[in-house]
Amino acid sequence: MARKPDSRYERLEKIELKLAQRPAGWTIRELAGEFCMHRATLHRDIILLRAMGAKIDKRGSRYILDKRALLHALRVTTDELLAIYLAVRLLSRHSDEHNPHVVTALEKLAEVLQEKSPLIARHIQQAAAAVSARKPRTEYVRALEALTQGWAEGKKVRMSYHSYTKDETTERTFAPFFIEPSGIGYSTYVIGHDDLRDTLRTFKVERVFGVEVTDQLFSIPDGIDFQAMLASAWGVIWRDEADVTVVLRFAPSVVRRVKESTWHHTQHIDDLPDGSCLFTVSIGSTRELLPWVRSWGAAVEVLEPPAFRQEVVAEVQDLMRVYGLEEPR
């Protein structure tokens, strides 16, 4: 038996998928049992799906979906299929939230790829199941849905936002220009014009709630290139007035690992005589870089800028106090 969907939109998606997965079709009684719903509600959903363009025929008591009418003609090579699978894995892991739309998208993709590669299709289905198993948070899904609608239709939204740094909630009208995931913190961010501050702002979707799409249209100003804007970011969100040059010295024990990856498009690595290396990068802000620096422990030393070095030193001193290692004065 399927988990009861969180919203009607999700339910419609799942009903269509169920129909696609069984060529012999389903009766209203069977579908009602699958989704723990009243038969009259399922009947209305079938009518709505038809109105939305789904080719659903009734043969006797069974409803059958014409799969030829679906966008199932996906022609990809095996190598292209790997690219899709890798993207799916990142999609399923980039957020720790339960997102029903990620689930249905992956389930549809698995269905499409079933004939091409049952093994990869099964792994994609497992990725969908992993996302589905996460604890639902309806407020997050509704916020993301409304922001997505506003973004797609070019309409401003009214929303509440809880600031982590100030620990306060503010109401604002916001024009969602761009939505971007971040691997740091497994979060999603929305970038756009904030009428409250009259400036371009970035908000974490997980802290947005009470979103309503308005009838106020917006247009993105000429000259804003989000790809270029995010190019200097270490992750996605923060940047200062000007790019910051950061210089790190990595110990010989980790130099090989550092060189294995391109961590940022501006990076430059210089080898030193003792086997260590200098890692130089130009980024929009050091705030997102700090967790990455922490992950290297004592194998990395911040050399520049001085303010960033002092920030790391202060954190080390705090750790010494936590573990009772503070040097006596």
Element (H, E) at 94: none
pTM summary value: 0.62
* 243 Ramachandran zone, left/alpha/beta (phi>0; psi -120 to 50): beta
Give me the tens of pLDDT residue by residue for the chain, a chain 329 residues long: 555 555 677 778 788 878 887 888 899 899 888 888 888 888 888 888 888 777 888 888 899 987 655 544 466 778 888 888 888 888 777 667 788 888 888 888 888 787 778 898 899 888 888 888 888 888 888 999 999 999 999 999 999 999 877 788 999 999 999 988 876 666 788 999 999 999 988 898 989 999 999 999 999 988 777 776 666 566 555 554 568 899 999 999 999 999 998 888 889 999 999 999 999 998 877 887 888 999 999 999 999 999 999 999 999 999 999 988 866 55
Question: What is the secondary structure of 23-74 as a DSSP string?
Answer: TT-EEHHHHHHHHT--HHHHHHHHHHHHHTT--EEEETTEEEE-GGGSS---
Position 229 scores a pLDDT of 67
Angstrom distance (rounded) from CA 94 to CA 122: 20
Angstrom distance (rounded) from CA 130 to CA 15: 20
- Show the domains of the chain with their CATH numbers: 8-69 (1.10.10.10), 78-132 (no CATH), 138-223 (2.30.30), 244-322 (3.30.70)
pLDDT digits (tens, 9 = 90+) for 40-67: 888 888 888 888 777 888 888 899 987 6
Q: Where are the beta strands (DSSP E) in 128-276?
A: 155-163, 168-182, 187-194, 199-204, 208-217, 244-250, 268-271
Position 79 scores a pLDDT of 84
CA atoms within 13 A on the CB side of 206: 13
Cβ partners under 8 Å of residue 302, min gap 6: 246, 247, 248, 293, 308, 309, 312
